[in-house]
Structure 1
């Protein structure tokens, strides 16, 4: 399986070209499944999922002109027979894994059986992550929360650092979580983004120190491309690699 891990979707021509290269054919000839699961823990999650699926979200993904686009909701998979959904996943050219809560997403990737299925997919299949969808691909990741995650949100490794955002008015809890382990590095998206003030370069360095693997901090104009284990950075913005 190939991967394109983005901060905010297919934001520029370089990332678009990387996606087409991974697919090995035009997007118009490729079938995709959209996974909105990570967005549901957020207030208004169903509306945000609808905007993303219909191509009205700020992170381009579903509106790229796919030959066909289906919806794969991970939380329903444990209640249906594998024969009803596994062949559909195996036939897909791309899995579009949307953003939201990476801890919640990683939990449902495990509970649904998708995490075990992904490494068995054909080599031409492409996992395309957005934000949390990219974060959860790692074996170990970090994320910030305003409140301690619930016990059923996913496997925690620790949740013991509290810090203030640059505005100084919201305390954040830094959680170390367990992801799907599809790659041997980790990602911190939205680097230095005005609407993600805690994802500063200084904080990214502190977070990366908690991860026992190389960690890429990337902005919204950057993506990580993985082909047969070879990692390439595709960027029209800025990024930084932290090593253990």
Structure 2
């Protein structure tokens, strides 16, 4: 399984080069599926123009607009109402999944309801997450990021990686996302955690983790949290 977990899309050359290496061929030769679902659960980004910007590739957070051979839309809220024969082959054939930001718990709920969560570990596609699209892979997100509340409550997510992610570190439009806030958040988590700014991504290939950064990030170990 190959993951490139970003805070705000592919914003610099280091992340772009890492993505191309993970794909194993030029972006122009790759077929992508974009997943905007997380946006609908967050009042800042959806529904509406922001969702259109993401899907159309007109977003200031480069993902869909990187120059793919083709781009399809996979809307998770629609999948439970149609046969898996109509969408599972498309997912299996895709070279990359581009998963938007928004609300991580809303995205997690619909990944599970749609069946995509069960499918993800077996896919050959590179998974590129942005903000909530990255956070959803963790065991949980922490109370700091809880917005939409799932029917079962809690802050648990997919546990497809063994660390949590605090995105948008020191973002000018998010004055609460300071390193001090990230440290408090990490102290309340149950395991490993990273805080990353928008110029940073976390690459995970078959469990091996590497930070790709032209910006600022921090790693919080379990031992630091317990101490």
What does 1:1-244 correspond to in 2, within 5 Å?
1-43=1-43, 44-122=46-124, 125-142=125-142, 144=144, 149-152=148-151, 155-157=152-154, 177-244=155-222
Output the TM-score relative to the length of structure 1: 0.86
Query: Does the 8 A contact of 1:137 with 1:181 survive in 2?
Result: yes
**Separation in structure 1 between the aligned mates of residue 26 and residue 185 of structure 2, nearest angstrom:** 37
CA displacement 1:27-81 (0-9 Å, x = unmatched): 0111110000001123442321101111221110001000110000000111111
Q: Offset of 1:142 from its aligned partner? A: 2.2
**Partner of residue 225, structure 2:** none
Partner of 1:183, secondary structure, is: coil
**Separation in structure 1 between the aligned mates of residue 145 and residue 158 of structure 2, nearest angstrom:** 20
In proportion to residue count, which structure has more helix? 2
Query: Does the 8 A contact of 1:102 with 1:143 survive in 2?
Result: no
RMSD (CA atoms) = 1.5
**Separation in structure 1 between the aligned mates of residue 162 and residue 141 of structure 2, nearest angstrom:** 11
Q: Offset of 1:150 from its aligned partner? A: 4.0
**Separation in structure 2 between the aligned mates of residue 85 and residue 219 of structure 1, nearest angstrom:** 34
Gaps of 5+ in 1: 158-176
CA displacement 1:191-240 (0-9 Å, x = unmatched): 01111122111111111122222101000000000112110000000100
Output the TM-score relative to the length of structure 2: 0.92
Aligned residues: 220
**Separation in structure 2 between the aligned mates of residue 145 and residue 212 of structure 1, nearest angstrom:** 15
Partner of 1:178, secondary structure, is: coil
Gaps of 5+ in 2: 223-227
Q: CA, structure 1 residues 145+128, in 2 after alignment: closer, same or farther (shift >3 Å)?
A: closer
